[in-house]
């Protein structure tokens, strides 16, 4: 069998994955494509060896896919969807003084509005809560 046959079979199986629920066709398609690449690199491999290689690679690929499905990676902790709640409990210094209950604090390259008791710039504060994008602060004793 020609290497292009195996690559074509791999592509058809990969496309079939979109129409058949599950995860096995993509792995079997990957095994077929790998056999195709191997047979293109070494054209002297006979069809019987190609079929045997495909059987071994397909079984290994499906087993790997099933293992990956049953052992998902730990989710990455991300503060992206936590909004301003990610700052609660942190310490910082006031960037601008809190006057009439309003001031600003800097985290990274962003100035955040803060609410709290009137305090001079540079005072160490703890973020105690949030109200939308406004951080509520209290002085650190």
The pLDDT tens digits of the residues spanning 15-29 come to 998 888 777 899 999
Q: Domain 83-139: give its CATH code.
A: 2.40.50.140
- Model confidence at 54, pLDDT cuts 50, 70, 90, reads very high
Contacts of 128 (CB under 8 A, 6+ apart): 88, 136, 137, 138
Average pLDDT over residues 61-67: 89
- pLDDT of the residue at 41: 93
Nearest 5°: the CA angle 114, 131, 90 is 55
pLDDT-derived band at 126 (thresholds 50, 70, 90) equals: very high
User: Does pTM top 0.85 for this prediction?
Assistant: no
- The residues spanned by each domain of the chain are 3-70, 83-139
- Work out the average pLDDT over 63-78: 79
96 has pLDDT over 90: yes
């Amino acid at each position: 069998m020609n290497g292009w046959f195996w690559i074509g079979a791999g592509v058809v199986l990969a496309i079939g994955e979109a129409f058949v629920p599950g995860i096995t066709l993509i792995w079997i398609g990957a095994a077929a494509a790998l056999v195709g690449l191997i047979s293109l690199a070494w054209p002297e491999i006979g069809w019987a060896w190609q079929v045997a290689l495909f059987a071994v690679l397909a079984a290994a690929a499906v087993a790997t896919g099933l293992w990956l499905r049953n052992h998902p990676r730990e989710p990455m902790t991300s503060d992206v969807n936590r909004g301003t709640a990610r700052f609660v409990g942190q310490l910082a210094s006031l960037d601008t003084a809190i006057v009439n209950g309003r001031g600003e604090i800097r985290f990274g390259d962003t100035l955040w509005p803060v609410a709290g008791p009137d305090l001079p710039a540079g005072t160490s504060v703890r973020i105690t809560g949030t109200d939308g994008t406004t951080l509520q602060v209290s002085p650190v004793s």
